[in-house]
C-alpha cells in the first residue's frame, strides 16, 4: 500500500496492492493495523481525529455510465472510497476554499481516496457499470449532510459527461 498526499488538506490517495494469478486477484480493502500504521503519521500532521476513526457504516452503490452522485458534504464523517468494478471519476472539494481535486478509481487500478469531514465528495461513472464502495465513520444523518450542485461555479469542476444523470437532490443542491 502506498499513501500519497493530494493538494487538499487531509485528503489522501491510497494505492492498494493486489495479488494476481490465473484465478483472478485478491485485494485487501481494509486492514485496521496496516492503515493506522501507514496513515496515522501522515494524517495526524493535518487532522488528529483520524486516529479515533472506527468504521460504522459500509455502503455499496451500482450505477450506470454518466451517473453523477454527490457533491455531498458531512461535518463529522470520514469516508474511505473504492471502486470495486468499472471506472469512476471521483471529485473531492474543499467548500471553504473552493479547491477541488479529481481521481480515477477503478476495479483495475485499486486506488482508494480517504475523504475527511467537511469535504464534499462526488463521483461520475465512466464505464458501462461501476460498483462503488464507501466505508464511513459515522451513520448517515440527513441533518448533517449538505449537497452542492454538481455545476456550482464556486468549484468549476470539469465533469466528463455533461449533462450527467442526476438525482433530484443532486440536481437542485441544498447550499
Tens-digit pLDDT profile for the chain (175 aa)? 888 889 998 898 999 888 888 998 888 888 877 877 776 665 554 556 666 788 999 999 999 999 999 899 999 999 999 999 999 999 999 999 999 999 999 999 999 999 999 999 999 999 999 999 999 999 999 999 999 999 999 999 999 887 899 988 888 887 5
- Of 137, 140, 160, 139, nearest in space to 150 by CA: 160
**DSSP per-residue string spanning 71-110:** EEEESS--EEEEEEESEEEEEEE-TTT--EEEEEEETTT-
Neighbours of 152 (CB within 10 A): 17
The answer as to CATH 2.60.120.10 being correct for domain 2-172 is yes
Give the global pTM.
Answer: 0.89
Cross-strand partners of 59? 134
For the chain, counts of helices (H) and of strands (E) = 2, 13
Amino acid at each position: 500500500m502506498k499513501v500519497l498526499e493530494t493538494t487538499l488538506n487531509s485528503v489522501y490517495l491510497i494505492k492498494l496492492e493486489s495479488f494476481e494469478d490465473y484465478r483472478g486477484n485478491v485485494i485487501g480493502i481494509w486492514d485496521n493495523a496496516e492503515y493506522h500504521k501507514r496513515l496515522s503519521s501522515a494524517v495526524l500532521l493535518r487532522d488528529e481525529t483520524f486516529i479515533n476513526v472506527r468504521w460504522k457504516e459500509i455502503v455499496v452503490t451500482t450505477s450506470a455510465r454518466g451517473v453523477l452522485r454527490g457533491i455531498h458534504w458531512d461535518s463529522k464523517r470520514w469516508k474511505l472510497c473504492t471502486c470495486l468494478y468499472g471506472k469512476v471519476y471521483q471529485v473531492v472539494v474543499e467548500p471553504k476554499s473552493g479547491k477541488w481535486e479529481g481521481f480515477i478509481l477503478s476495479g483495475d487500478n485499486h486506488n482508494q481516496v480517504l475523504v475527511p469531514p467537511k469535504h464534499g465528495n462526488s463521483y461520475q461513472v465512466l464505464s458501462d457499470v461501476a460498483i462503488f464502495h464507501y466505508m464511513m465513520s459515522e451513520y448517515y444523518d440527513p441533518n448533517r449532510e449538505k449537497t452542492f450542485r454538481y455545476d456550482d461555479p464556486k468549484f468549476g469542476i470539469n465533469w466528463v459527461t455533461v449533462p450527467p444523470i442526476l438525482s433530484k437532490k443532486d440536481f437542485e443542491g441544498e447550499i
